[in-house]
Amino acid sequence: MNTSSQNPPIPPAAAPQPLGAPDAPAPVVPTRDAPANIKSVLAPLLLLVVLQFGAPFLPIPNIVVALVGITILTLLYVGSVVGFSLGVARQQWSLPILIAGFVGCGSAWGAFQMFGRGIPFGYALQNFALLGLGTFFGLLISKMIKHANMIGPIGVMVALIDIWGVLFGGIVAQLLTNKATKSIATTAMGSGPKLGAATSKFHLALPDIGIGDYLFLALFLGAIVHFGMNWRASAIWMWAGVSAALLAIVLLPFIPALPGLLFLGAGAVLPNLKYFQFTREEKFALLYAGIFVGLLTIGLYFGFTSMLPKQP
């Protein structure tokens, strides 16, 4: 009697696992979002315009109001900068559009440098051009990141380099403290809104933000959006970290400067740890790369400081 139709064949047994061997964790597969509405770019840009042009005319009757006002202004300003960068990143524009934006903002920034001194609010327009220049440049560079695993090492490396550059007499500190180069360095930095500067006895200004911060903000967010990682949490971490750093510089006189890339790198890496999957060989490669970057940084420090003009 034929019973093959009633008893299906038994599948082969799976290969036995070694005793005590843990199961391999399933890799986290990111889900890439669709391009966002253009409102995600225009809304934070409009808020930036309102803050930049409106903050100087706000009446500040006393120091208490000034302190509360600068706290609110900082949170809104950093949020609008992060929101603008994230909004542009979420458009997922093609390479030609990014190149056009980079060239256009760079040309506008250069024009304001040469001819914008006599224009009302020329400094504010120059800041917008610098923000756009750094944002589009960062998104262009983010196209070179071919795997999500690259975000982690980049975030750690730029944070370490910026800590050295700002706090321990590195390139940034040398440029800003050397009288012969300070004016050159400040041209690549954007000035934030100046609260009550036009109408009040009490007024406070946000610290300047360098084009490098705009660049890496867009680079990290562009890569995180592209790979479908946790861009919401990253944006919140970056907003909170940079806001806290700027407020510390404004309110605490013993803190003259803080490394912005430290907070941007932490915001890019920490909320996305589950997306980084490294083999043992890759971990050793990252260690060797870190040692190489450290040695290269030390060499660049001594080489760069030897080329700086002498203090008058």
- In angstroms, the first-to-last Cα distance of the chain is 107
Predicted pLDDT of residue 3? 47
How many other β-carbons are positioned within 10 Å of the β-carbon of residue 32?
A: 10
Lowest mean pLDDT segment, chosen from 37-51, 174-188, 189-203: 174-188
Mean pLDDT of the region 115-136: 81
Per-residue pLDDT at 118 exceeds 80: no
What are the tens digits of pLDDT across the range 273-305? 888 887 877 777 777 777 776 676 666 666 655
Predicted pLDDT of residue 75? 94
d(CA 269, CA 74): 24
What are the tens digits of pLDDT across the range 72-106? 999 999 999 999 999 999 999 999 999 999 999 99
Give me the residue label for tokens 């790369």. 289
Minimal CA–CA distance to 219: which of 157, 268, 286?
A: 268
Predicted pLDDT of residue 21? 45
d(CA 22, CA 247): 47
d(CA 258, CA 3): 78
Q: Which residue has the higher pLDDT, 227 or 307?
A: 227
Predicted pLDDT of residue 116? 65
What are the tens digits of pLDDT across the range 8-19? 555 555 555 554
Predicted pLDDT of residue 43? 95
pTM: 0.78
Domain ranges of the chain: 39-147+189-273
Mean pLDDT of the region 46-62: 86
**pLDDT tier, 20 (very low <50, low <70, confident <90, very high otherwise):** very low
Calculated CA dihedral for residues 156, 161, 165, 168, nearest 10 degrees:
80
Helix 231-251 × helix 260-269 angle, to 10°:
160
Predicted pLDDT of residue 200? 65
What are the tens digits of pLDDT across the range 129-173? 999 999 999 999 999 998 888 898 888 888 887 877 776 655 555
DSSP letter at 117 equals G
What are the tens digits of pLDDT across the range 189-242? 666 777 777 676 767 777 778 888 999 999 999 999 999 999 999 999 999 999
What's CA 165's distance to the chain center, in Å? 16
119, containing H or E segment: none
